Amino acid sequence: MEIIEAVKARKSIRGYLDKPVPREVVAQVLSLAIRAPSAMNTQPWEYYVLAGDVLDQIRKENVEWLRAGNIPQPDHLVVGWPNDSVYRRRQVDLAKQLFSLMGIAREDKAARMEWLERGFRFFDAPVAVLVVSDACLSEGGPLMDIGAMLQNLCLSALAFDLGTCIEDQGVMYPEILRKLVGIPADRRIMMAVAMGYPDPDFPANAVETDREPAENITTWFGFGDGE
């Protein structure tokens, strides 16, 4: 797949076929992902790749904790935005689009809760990749490197017909992950990626998120065209 084609084709997939992904395929995707640049080539990332019973158990416990009202305490820095900001508007636009595609009415609390739980279930994907980072690194330092690696991962997955969704919902309860897959205390659990073969009939997979055009967010200097 051409690079431009892949960049345009990548989107977050929130519904997957019930079809396992071979371990060798995931391994190839991860090998491509780690070709990403990182500051001073520090490569501040490690993976825990989950499937099968252990992933199902994590889904179950994540949902139980969510239903019990446990306050999420993720290891990673959480981004916030003011209520009256463009960022909030974009978040609301996304939610509206997803709910509309899924036929979830605004006042339907049960359906909204089920949608939320879906994120905590890694969208029922056959594979979840957890990205962890050494806690000796500064909290924000590895974020850019991990972001570059994650984009590589999502793009590379396309070459194997795999869909992905980067998601922090899956790592909102680090204690569950530490307990079930033995992630040591000296590792920060930074992000999850749900991965699998996209379900073409899953309504939310038709989401088309827009972008503020680059011309609106770019200031040019020195191009000699009077700007």
Residue at token pair 């972001």? 147
> Buried b vs exposed e over 34-51: b needs ≥16 C-beta within 10 Å?
eebebeeeeebbebbbbb
Q: Which of residues 7-66 bind ligand FMN (CB under 6 A)?
A: 11-12, 14
169 sits near ligand FMN (criterion: CB under 6 A): yes
Tell me the CA end-to-end span of the chain in Å, nearest whole number: 36
C-alpha–C-alpha distance, residues 128 and 126, integer Å: 7
Decide if residue 148 touches ligand FMN (CB under 6 A).
no
Nearer to ligand FMN, 49 or 190 (CB): 190
Q: Compare residues 25 and 166 and give the one whose CB is closer to ligand FMN.
A: 166
> Is residue 165 within the footprint of ligand FMN (CB under 6 A)?
yes
The one segment of 25-33, 41-49, 126-134, 160-168 that binds ligand FMN by CB under 6 A? 160-168
- Please pick, from the candidates 25, 94, 101, 111, the single residue that binds ligand FMN as defined by CB under 6 A: 94
**Min separation Cβ 175 and ligand FMN, Å:** 18
Binding of residue 117 to ligand FMN (CB under 6 A): no
Alpha-carbon distances of 110 from 4, 117, 170, 204, rounded to whole Å:
40, 10, 20, 17
Question: Which listed range, 45-53, 65-73, 166-174, 175-183, lies at the site for ligand FMN (CB under 6 A)?
Answer: 166-174
Q: Contact at 8 Å (CB) between 111 and 130?
A: no
Give the residue, chosen from 25, 168, 180, 181, that forms a contact with ligand FMN under the rule CB under 6 A. 168
Burial of 144 (0-12, 13-18, 19+ CB in 10 A): middle
